[in-house]
Amino acid sequence: MLIKKQREEKQLEASVDLLISRVAHLKNALHNFIYKLENEFERLAWPSVLDNFALVSGQLNTINKLLRNEKTPSFRNQVIIPLELSPDRDDELAKLTEQRVPVFSHEIVPDHLRTKPDPEVEEMEKQLSAEAARLGPEAAQKQIQTLNKLCSNLLEKLNNPREDRDPESSAIRQSKPSFNPADTLALVGAVAFGKGLSKCRPPGPGAPGQGPMMGGGPTLQQVTIGGASGQPGIVVLFFSLLTGKMPSSIKTNIKSASGSMHPYNR
Amino acid sequence: MEAPPVSVMPVTGGSINMMEYLLQGSVLDQALESLLHRLRGLCDNMEPETFTDHELVYLLKGQQGNPFILRARHSLSHPAAPWHLRYLGQPEVGDKSRHALVRNCLDVSASHSLPDVLNEMGFRMDHEFVANGHVFRRGALKVVVSKLSRVLVPGNTENTERLSLSYLVELSVLAPAGQDTVSEDMRSFAEQLKPLVHLEKIDPSKQRH
C-alpha cells in the first residue's frame, strides 16, 4: 500500500515536471513571437508569422496530449492547501514567478488558488440552469432537433464549399466538358496544313500571278508549281538570307540549278 | 552611289536559330469566358489584347523533297501595320523528356508588297484563314486564344465562315535552341489551366490526312 502510494507520488512529480517544462517551452515561443511582433513587425513576413503560429499550436497540442495521456495522473484529484499566508514580501516567491506575485497574502490567494469559476460566471451558470429546469422535456427535445438540423446543414455547406460558392465553375466541371479533343486536332491540322481550309475554295481563281490551286483534299504534298527550274535558286538565296544556312532538301536543287542554268540570267 | 535599302535587316539581329516551344489545345465556345477569366488572373497584368489576323500560307516545291512553306500574316484590325513573314521548321515531338513540341522558328517583318514578292519568287498560296482572338503574356510565355475562320472567296476576308465550335489555344515560347527548361515552365502553366483546357504537344503530321 505504501509502495503503491510512493510510486503514485513519483509519477505525479514526474508528470508535473514534464508539464512545467512543456509550459516553459510554450511560454518561450509566445515570448519570442510577441517580441517579434512588437519589434520586428516591419520586416516580419507573413510566412514566418504563420510559422510562429504553427509552433505555438504544436506546443499546445503536445500539452494537451500530455494531459490526456493515461500515465499522467489526474491533476483534478489533487488538492492544494495554502499552508502559510503572510502579508510580507517574499523574495523567493517573486523570483519564482518572475516578479508577478511578490506577496502570498490573504488578498491574492483566493484568486490564484481558485478552482471554481469567477463569481460572475457562476451567477450566469445559475441563471442558465434555472432556465433549463423551467423548460419541459418536449420543448427541449424540439430545440435539440432544431439545433441538430442546423448543425448538419452547416456541416454540409462547409464540406462542399466550392460547389455552393462557385456555381459557375462547378457547373462546368460537373455537367459539360469545356473542350473537345476532336476540335483540338481539327484546329491543329488547320493551322499546320490548312486541313479543312482549302476545300471550300472554288478551284482556279483567275488572279494573275496565282498558280493552280488544288480543289480539295490534302494540298501540301500535291501542289505543283509552274515556275521555271531556275527559281529554286532564288528561294535558296532567300532562305539562306533568312536562316543563314541551307536546308538540305533544297541544297540538291542548287546543284541541279547551277549545273543547268544561272538563276539570274533570265 | 546610294546604298540600297536594307530589306534584310532583321536577319542580322539575335533572332537567328530561335526555337519555338509549343503546346496546343482547344476550348469550346461556351467555356471561352471562363478561360479568359482564368488567363486574366494568371497572366501579366496588362490591357487585354485582341487581334484579327489574316494568314496566307505559301508553298514552293522544288523538283524533289518536301515543299518549302512560308506563312505571311497581316492584321485586319490594323491595316497599316507591317506584314509578318514566318518560317517554321519541322516539329520535333519525339523527345519524351521534353514537355513541348519544338520547332525552328524565324520571324521577319515585311512590307505590304510581300504577297507580290512571294508570287514573283515562285511561291504559290496554298491556303488562307482568318484568326481572331486574344493574346496573353506571362513573362516569356505567350498564350493565344483564337477562333479560326475559312475564307470563302479567296482574298475577301469579309466573307468568312468559322471552322469549328472551339477556340484554338496555343501556349508558346521563343527561346534559343537547347533551352529545354522553358518547357518545364510551360508544363506548370498548362497544369494551371486544367481542367478547362488540356494543352498538349500534338504531332501535327498525324493530322495531315
Express each pLDDT in A85-112 by its tens digit: 888 888 888 888 888 888 888 888 887 7
Q: How far apart are CA B5 and CA B3, in angstroms?
A: 6
Whether A241 has a pLDDT exceeding 90, the answer reads: no
Compute chain A's Rg from CA coordinates: 44
Interface test with A, best of B166, B171, B199, B201 (most A CBs within 10 A): B166
Backbone CA torsion sign across B1, B2, B6, B12: positive
A242 contacts in B (CB within 8 Å)?
A: 11, 87, 106, 108
Do A180 and B26 lie within an 8 Å CB cutoff? yes
A176 contacts in B (CB within 8 Å)?
A: 28, 30-31
Backbone CA torsion sign across B41, B47, B53, B55: negative
Question: What's the rounded mean pLDDT across residues B119-145?
Answer: 91
Q: Which residue in this structure is represented by grid cell 440552469?
A: A129
Q: What pLDDT does A242 receive?
A: 54
In sequence order, the 6+-apart residues with CB closer than 8 A to the CB of A233 are A253, A254, A257, A258, A263
Question: What's the rounded mean pLDDT across residues B187-200?
Answer: 89
B154 contacts in A (CB within 8 Å)?
A: 201-202, 205, 207, 213
Interface test with B, best of A174, A188, A255 (most B CBs within 10 A): A188
- Here the ipTM equals 0.83
- Which pTM does this prediction carry? 0.51
Quickly state the pLDDT bin for B27 (edges 50, 70, 90).
very high
Do B8 and A250 lie within an 8 Å CB cutoff? no
User: Could you report the per-residue pLDDT of A144-180, keeping only the tens digit for each?
Assistant: 999 999 999 999 888 876 655 555 555 555 556 788 8
B198 contacts in A (CB within 8 Å)?
A: 179, 181, 184
Q: What pLDDT does A233 receive?
A: 47
Longest dimension (CA), chain A: 124
Total Cβ atoms within 10 A of residue B59:
24
Are A92 and A104 in contact, with CB atoms under 8 Å apart? no
Total Cβ atoms within 10 A of residue B53:
20
Strand partners, B182: none
User: Could you report the per-residue pLDDT of B172-183, keeping only the tens digit for each?
Assistant: 999 887 777 888
With CA atoms as reference, the chain B residue closest to A225 would be: B61
B25: nearest Cα among A196, A169, A181: A181
Do A210 and B64 lie within an 8 Å CB cutoff? no
Q: What pLDDT does A28 receive?
A: 92
Average confidence score pLDDT of chain B? 84
Q: How far apart are CA B36 and CA B34, in angstroms?
A: 6
Whether B124 has a pLDDT exceeding 80, the answer reads: yes
B49: nearest Cα among B173, B133, B109: B133
User: Could you report the per-residue pLDDT of B97-123, keeping only the tens digit for each?
Assistant: 788 888 888 888 999 999 999 999 989
Extract the C-alpha cell encoding A80: 492544494
Residue B129: which of A168, A197, A224 has the nearest Cβ? A197
Do B11 and A192 lie within an 8 Å CB cutoff? no
Cα dihedral B154, B84, B59, A234 in deg (nearest 10): 130
Interface test with B, best of A198, A253, A256 (most B CBs within 10 A): A198
Do B127 and A198 lie within an 8 Å CB cutoff? yes
Total Cβ atoms within 10 A of residue B115:
19
Each residue of A47-70: b (16+ CB within 10 Å) or e? eeeeebeebeeebeeebeeeeeee
Q: How far apart are CA A219 and CA A60, in angstroms?
A: 74
Do B202 and A188 lie within an 8 Å CB cutoff? yes
